[in-house]
Chains A and B, each alone.
Chain A
Amino acid sequence: MNTVSYDIELADWRTKALKLESEVGKIIVGQTKAIRLMTTAIFARGHVLLEGGVGVGKTTLLQSITRGMGGAYERIEGTVDLMPNDLIYHTYLNSEGRPQIDEGPLLRAGENLSVFFFNEINRARPQVHALMLRVMAERHLQAFKKDYRLPHMVVFADRNQVEKNETFEIPSAARDRFMMEIPIEIPESREHRKSLIFDTKFQHAEVLTQQVEDHILQFDQLNSFSDTIQRHVRSSPVLEEYALDLWEATQEPARFGIKLDGVEVSRLVQAGASPRGMGMLMKASRVNAWLNGRDSLLPEDIHAVFHEIIAHRLVFNPMYDSKRTALARELTAQIINTVVVPGKH
């Protein structure tokens, strides 16, 4: 591919990506940042944990994005009695009164599956987590004596962070498989809140979703285009040093002079970001640079995704684990505020 067509392809996809954001933004109000992060995850081909309360519009957001990117959308609810095979098949009596086995939500769409939503993943048992995490990593599964490939699947999982009864916390190794944890908050603007409760168009999520233009993206080309983005966006030596400093700061924040109120920082972190996590950070940063029309990384590209990619990966000392959400947010903010670039190397 020559340079001109290469540039045209990048520009063309960028236009589509911005159109997707714009279409979704029309029906999901007050979630601009979340939409940008989800677009980033889609183009970086990373799985996403969603953080937020109930009824904030996570499902509608996902369905809208799926409609815009094309492909199939599947969903399953995490419950305490959910078993791994519930994801793969389900049995029922057919019209002839005979037992029949059909593919479950994970396999039903086959290679067309683009978005799989696992609602309240922490209500499911660890066996289910294990299967899901394996599929996320390998993107294929053997069942019914054949190999199911899910090459275009991106998993979005929601964690119920409020209720802890009958939940199974996702271990750090499993959390690390998710590229991002994106907070979906209730919009802060009163105008947005007002429209959410008074504008009748928000009463029917299905109708709302239909307003999004479909197939803006070609979901089955995203993998190859993601590689194109990664090759296209460069990083300077100064930025690479900066990324390494950030990584070390997640492991030893005290060494960088990071301070948190009421926290003994030197004892806070048991394990910082993993190499996979840092790799995902740079991958998502490159997508952010491309979305902003650049072919080189800037620190702000890293900042745009730093918290969402790093916070859920940090393993804290158990004495601080009860406050991990707040502390992780504070720590990542302090790391960005404290680690200098250019550093004096």
Chain B
Amino acid sequence: MDTVSWGVAAPAIGAAFAASVVEVVEAFTIVLAVGTLRGWRPACAGTLAALAVLALLVIVLGPLLDRIPISALQIAVGVLLLLFGMGWLRKAVLRSAGVIPLHDEAAIFAAESEELSHQAASKDRSLNWIAGLTAFKAVLLEGLEVVFIVIAVGAGRGLLWPAALGAAGACVAVLVVGVLVHKPLSRVPENTLKFGVGVMLSAFGVFWTGEGLGVEWPGHDLMLLGLAVVFLVAGMGLANRLRQSSMEAKP
């Protein structure tokens, strides 16, 4: 792999890793709640079933990507990345400015545990089934986002394997830390990660969409890093300005 390719491969691996850490931590919190309350059998069964569905989706949909013309693929993936990445960046800016509260894994763990306990009181016989389904839903829904991110950052330039490697690395990292800590990973700097991922996905979105529409970016692949810096500086500036205006508005 030459240096120009690394200019795109490294952000693809980094974006897939960071985004996957956020999603896997969210899924891990719910699986942990299920495992702690109802045992690891339904938690693992639900998780494995969801992973099987996700693998099936990738196996079925993956080869279809090769049949789509590259410019159409770049526009489609670029627009989806812009919608997804700008949404994340908007939320991360608002959280960083203190406008909306930070994501709290400990609170989610408590809420999920309470929900399962409540269901236990009303439907005891089918509780293992409900617990397994809860784990299945969590892993499937968060996993769908991981699959989308891997495809989106990887498909535009044949970087599916590096992006998948980043996502797999995130799964292993969260699992290893989670097994060692054995409680919700509430100390993961989630908003910082989301900020970074929003920046990278937005940069990829502008880059792919532009390329699909015939833009020849100056510096070619390295422009991706330039766009990321622009989004990062703009996002931090916006968060700073909103934080300051919030403080001025307080009596």
Same complex: no
Q: Which residues of A contact B (CB under 8 A)?
A: none
